[in-house]
Amino acid sequence: MLVQEIEDSFGLQVCKKQSLVIERGLGVWVWDTAGEKYLDFTAGWGVTCLGHAHPLIVETISKQAALIIQNPNSGFTYSPARAELILELQKVLPDSLTRMFFANSGAEANDAALKLARKITGRSKVVSLHGSFHGRTLATLSVSGGPQNGARYLPRVPGQNFCLHNNGAELGDHVDDSVAAVILELVQGEGGVRAMDASFVKQVRALCDKHGCLMIIDEVQTGFCRTGRFFATDYYDVQPDILTMGKGIAGGLAFAALAMSEHVASAVELGDHGGTYCGNPLSCAVAAGVTRYLREHNIAAQVSGLGALAIEDLLELQQQFPDMIRQVRGRGLMLALELHSDDMVWPLTDLCQQKGLLVTPTRNAVVRLLPSLLLTEREWSIGVQRLASALSALQVDRASLAA
């Protein structure tokens, strides 16, 4: 049977599929089983931050796998790889975050942060933002503010309150002494690459201090240089109580982490949390290598510079296709085109694929661009040309349908 037939026949169909079977990748390029070459501006939803098959990751996996992949009694035993990662993260995390725990995914890290916040404070309510997305577990879906999140799953975890991003008045109405935590993305991903105002983030911090609740910053998508800083928190003069990480942390391996302040960690007791893969040596070794590479090569500055160029080019596309593109948003290499209607998203995604470019279709009429952080200006230029060609084809298709 063909790959597509096997997946369609026996896989659980939970995602809309592109007719594309990817076999291998190198840098920002991937090849399908027919040998066709594509420029990848998805990075596996922002995961492959160093691109595909980066030598550092390949060599680290091989070296660590030859030593040990999973510790015996994993959480009960010490690990050189885990200790190395802790030291690397200490060099890049906000100063207030001194304690770390490792997990399998961003959703799991956020789930743990919410669970521990409720346990530590003895409160049940959580405040989140409309348009947010924090994962697909029942607890994280319950604090994800998109209309498609959580509503179909019963029972929904109670005690959630949502407010509009950058709306200080509404935030103040929701945060009180009954709230365990406020959780927010500093740049919403699924919400369409929408950044928080500095004044709003500082207000979150002030309200949490006033009412004794925890400030949880979800950096699953924004962390590890994606926005042009090592963490998006670096743009804001605040110190979170808990910060969650994932996606780019291990350059392609399924891995995540949460870090917390000493004050918060002091309230965590033995048995409060755990996990089979809580610091898997293989993933820890790769994450330590990726973190070190990003820091030593100052990738954040490189992303910041290319991100500024990217916004300029996308704004030119908006001027060229005003009937297609409503708005351009982005920070670093976390970029979004908001189209005029949601029914343009998948046609544009498919046309981009036909032109040899892979992009990320997103809710609310948004197409996201999340390329490798090692993208070159030449590769970006090729991508923009292919994106322009796809937009032109979509414009022609829509005109012919309207005729």
Q: Are strands 357-358 and 37-40 parallel, antiparallel or unpaired?
A: parallel
Distance CA 95, CA 297 (A): 21
Q: pLDDT digits over 317-366, tens only?
A: 999 999 999 999 999 999 999 999 999 999 999 999 999 999 999 988 99
The pLDDT of residue 148 is above 70: no
- DSSP code at position 146: S
The answer to whether residues 275 and 251 touch, using CB atoms and an 8 Å cutoff, is no
The pLDDT of residue 1 is above 60: no
264, 198: one domain: yes
pLDDT for 149: 59
Region 234-255: mean pLDDT is 96
Residues of the domain holding 68: 55-296
Q: Smallest Cα–Cα separation from 370: which of 359, 379, 378, 362?
A: 359
Name the average pLDDT for the chain: 93
Count of positions (residues) in the chain: 403
147, 208: one domain: yes
Q: pLDDT digits over 179-190, tens only?
A: 999 999 999 999
Residue 111 included in any domain = yes
Residue 19 included in any domain = no
Structure tokens at 313: 């080019």
- DSSP code at position 74: G
Total tally of structural domains belonging to the chain: 2
The answer to whether residues 368 and 190 touch, using CB atoms and an 8 Å cutoff, is no
- DSSP code at position 49: T
289, 303: one domain: no
274, 391: one domain: no
